[in-house]
Amino acid sequence: MGPRRSHRKSRNGCPECKSRRLKCDERYPCTNCVKHAIQCSYVAPIDQTDSPVSSVSSATQPQPQAHDTPQAYPPLQPPNYAPTPNGGDPWLYDNSDVRPESENRLEFLGILPNSSLDSPLQKEDWGLDLELMHHYCTVTSNTLSEREDARHVWRVVMPTEGYSNKYLMHGILAIAAVHRAYLYRMSEQRERYIKASAYHLAAGLKEFRELIASPIDPSNWQPVFCFASMISVHLCTVPIRLGVSRWPNPITNTIELFASVKGLQAIMKPFLPSLRKTQLAPLANSVWLESEMRVHSPGAVAQSLLPADIWTQISRLYRFIEEYPFTQTTNQDDTAEKHSEHRKDYEAAIKSYESSVRQLELAGLHVEAGMVFLWAYRLSVQFHKDLEAHHPAALVLLAHYCVLLRSVDHRWYLNDMARQLLEDIERHIHPGYRDWLAWPRRWVHMR
């Protein structure tokens, strides 16, 4: 009789396979989930003896020998699998309105918040850094996503990248500090955390600005993406950093946030298609839920956080743009072709809005903030200019965007942004178009 075939028994595996009583091969994404087109939330088990910021399990990473010097581990490489045909996936989206990379880098640098290192932390504040790192790994990281696999990226992967990228570690500590400031907003400790956040943000930005002044390459794009993701969250914390309960200029603040998202996409564009094949894949998978559903379903809407009549309202928006008098609101010397292109920018904005709505349908009650900000990816340069000029048609679409934003603005870093943005739109829009705010107002103020 030949030797018995060995069998590895494991209690690990993705929740999806466990619920369906299937044997999981513990890969990411696992074979069963890929086969059945299910979002796999498998996360490799973490060695319980490791620190909170340790990397993923030893089964997936080489262990340094006693004589080895510390080194950055290579990125995890999930098995290759065919990408879904581009049905609007922002990671594969080919935006014809993209300008030269150097111009995008300069614009993105201009968007980044200005901070000063004039008031460095005291040397003994290293204890504060430990406090912030612990808070980030145990608390803050879990607030940045609804899905456990994406939380794993925020909690484990990003700190691991930060070991060899000091600017990213500063970004992590900055986010943790501003979160502590939010939690201790009624305490004397608040100011201490605000100063720590400002210091770490400035320190991280100093190195980051120098880094992205040159083209991003395959050796550094992943930590750059991580830090830029941190910056996107940080840009949402304006009221917390100012110690106020309201956004100073909601429309302007939103435009800056959109510009940051769009600028990030532009400079990272060559590497975004590879994102799903790296350890950062859950960030993309949690925001863009792949599905064969190409038309809306009343049942899906009913089980989501969206208004029941949202698709009817989208049809009304298309008619609004079709009939909108662009010739009266733009340069009279512009040609008919120019006016037609202007109208197409708005039709594309509504199309992008539809894509975000579909993602929120699929997400049900578990909406990721990134799903809502998908809208910003495809807004044209002209549409951004119209928002800055408080163009009535642009403000009408922005008001409808508030309905999507309302589904996530209970997050600590967004904190009632939808309602405040809609109120600012009501103050600035031409009186003749205020009737178009009735539908967004009804749904935003309902919650």
Residue labelled with tokens 């691991």: 160
CA dihedral 128, 134, 136, 137 (to 10 degrees): 160
Show Cβ contacts of residue 146 under 8 Å, excluding neighbours closer than 6 positions.
286, 363, 366, 367, 368
- 3-state SS class at 334: coil
**DSSP secondary structure letter of residue 154:** I
Instruction: Report CA 92 to chain centroid distance, whole Å.
Output: 16
CA-closest candidate to residue 422, choices 445, 446, 394: 445
For residue 333, what pLDDT is reported?
Answer: 57
What pLDDT does 6 receive? Answer: 47
Tell me how crowded residue 319 is: count the other CB atoms within 10 A of its CB: 9
Chosen CATH of 10-45 out of 4.10.240, 3.30.390, 1.10.3470, 3.10.450? 4.10.240
Distance CA 294, CA 65 (A): 51
Phi (first) and psi of residue 307, to 5 degrees: -60, 145
Q: CATH 4.10.240 occupies which residues in the chain?
A: 10-45
What's the pLDDT score for residue 88? 53
pLDDT at 37 (0 to 100):
47
What three-state secondary structure class fits 378? Answer: coil
**CB of 182 within 8 A of CB of 147?**
no
Residue ranges for the chain with pLDDT beneath 50:
5-7, 37, 43-87, 91-96, 98-100, 292-293
pLDDT of the residue at 140 = 98
Identify the pLDDT of residue 190.
94
Strands (E), 209-303: none
Q: What is the pLDDT of residue 246?
A: 92
Provide the pLDDT for residue 60.
38
Count Cβ atoms below 10 Å from residue 66 Cβ, excluding itself: 4
pLDDT at 289: 77
**Are 410 and 447 a contacting pair, CB within 8 Å?**
no
